[in-house]
Amino acid sequence: MASAKKKKTSNIFFAKGGMDVTFFLLLMTIVTIGLVMLFSASYTYSYYNRNGDSTYIFRRQLLFTLLGLAGMYAISRIRYEYFRLAAVVGVFVSVGLLLLVLVLPEYKPGFKRWINLGFTTFQPSEIAKIGLILILAYLLEKDYKSVTGKVPSDLVFRISNGKITVYQSFTKVILYGLLIIVFAGLVYLENHLSGTVLMLGIGIIMMFLGEVRYKWFVVAGGVILVAVIFLVANPHVLEKYAGERITAWLDKDYDPTGARWQTNNSLYAIGSGGFLGAGLGQSKQKHLYVSEPQNDFIFSIVCEELGFVGASLIILLFALLVYRGIHIGLRANDRFGALLAMGISFQIGIQVALNIAVVSDLIPNTGISLPFFSAGGTSIFILLCEMGMLLSVSRSNKAKE
């Protein structure tokens, strides 16, 4: 399908080429399925919590999706080179918002994740995720040589009066690492364990794609492994909320009406689906058994209604989307575009993987949403804007051809 529109002449601001149709169609398929499933999963919750207004959540989601699609289109038309500017600004915006949310009054008691805008709430971590991707893509492109080559660090050299020679492949990585830790740390302070993990994951993958030497990942992998083992063995060192979730994951009989209620009912829902599922709209577990079935645990309702076959197909769609995102990245004009496209793709990928792992009790219940499925206005809006960035990269690829 060559849908390249060539009527617009070359413009320094607008992207020239047509977007990647394969990616676009995959995305629209997922968004559509996501909306349908959201409707199915949310109408009981809306019914019970919105005085019988079964379509309340769905209507909001639809509205934000449409806004998001508009945003996506607009952003896809911007030449992605301009996103470098956004990368620099983004660091400050992200860190600023992450700090702001810590001092604002809590939207949900005990959690500092949300900023209440009145008409909607949003999570600064959603902004921070793309902020981190942008800045790392920017830096890893800029510092390509110093990261991969043997460039001594001037700073260290000067401070130590030439006595110590440290390569930039070391100092830069430490620097990026600190940046990632700042992002992840701030998210952790929000009492948002999965956001922290996601932040670390995105950071590490970006560095890996940015060709930081393998030995670093061996070290990082070792550290993470030790940390995870330590935390699983001693969940109480984490904040109470996060610690209890690990306990509840380890002990399948722990507090069935409390900490494990959601997970247990999620498993009942998934199991009830069987091979072909109960049929669209036929979930019973969504009747308040799976708490907030439209949010993080929407996939359990998907499994119950569409069965193993439907769930697997959706996972496959996501895998294809990620793969197509990587494909777009690898054909980008430069390393920034490549890292941006792949970063966004893997962000989606990690979120999907972690969400399904949580829902099916493979990892502790940490509160992570399923992209394009879970309810959340700003979330879907930002996600679609990110898709716009990815499509913008794809337009540049096309223009080049």
Residue 311 class from Cβ within 10 Å (0-12 exposed, 13-18 middle, 19+ buried)? Answer: buried
Among 111, 177, 268, 317, binds other proteins (CB under 8 A): 268
Does residue 271 bind other proteins (CB under 8 A)? yes
Of the pair 123, 397, the CB lying nearest other proteins is at: 397
Q: Where are the beta strands (DSSP E) in 20-138?
A: 115-116, 121-122
Report which of 146, 16, 90 is spatially closest to residue 340, judged by C-alpha positions: 90
User: Residues 4, 78, 185, 334: which binds other proteins (CB under 8 A)?
Assistant: 334
DSSP 8-state code for residue 376: -
Report the run of H or E that residue 128 belongs to, with start and end.
helix 124-142
Residue holding tokens 């959603």?
A: 126
Rounded to whole angstroms, the Cα distance separating 21 from 232 reads 44
Residue among 137, 139, 338, 383 that touches other proteins (CB under 8 A) = 338
Of the candidates 77, 335, 395, 398, which one interacts with other proteins according to CB under 8 A?
Answer: 335
In the complex, the smallest distance separating the C-beta of residue 387 from other proteins, rounded to whole angstroms, is: 18
Near other proteins by CB under 8 A: residue from 17, 18, 329, 377: 329
Among 44, 65, 394, 396, binds other proteins (CB under 8 A): 44
Q: Specify the stretch interacting with other proteins by CB under 8 A; choose among 22-30, 103-111, 222-230, 333-341.
A: 333-341
What is the rounded CA–CA span in Å between residue 184 and residue 98? 10
Residue of 91, 132, 356, 385 interacting with other proteins (CB under 8 A) = 356
Q: Least distance in Å: CB of 288 to other proteins? A: 4
DSSP 237: G
Task: Using alpha carbons, select from 239, 225, 369 the residue that is nearest to residue 292.
Answer: 369
Among 167, 170, 208, 241, binds other proteins (CB under 8 A): 208
* Shortest spacing between CB 346 and other proteins, in angstroms: 6
Residues 353 and 39: beta-carbon distance below 8 Å: no
Residues 6+ apart with CB under 8 A from 6: none
The residue with tokens 């992207």 is 15
| Token digits of residue 148 | 């991969």
321 near other proteins, rule: CB under 8 A: no
Near other proteins by CB under 8 A: residue from 15, 31, 187, 209: 209
- Whose CA is closest to 136, among 390, 351, 342, 352? 342
Q: Given the complex with other proteins, which of 273 and 388 has the nearer CB atom?
A: 273
Residues found near other proteins in the complex (CB under 8 A): 44, 47-48, 141-142, 144, 205, 208-211, 257, 265, 267-275, 284-285, 287-289, 303, 307-308, 311-312, 315, 318-319, 322-323, 326, 329-336, 338, 342, 346, 349-350, 353, 356-357, 360, 362
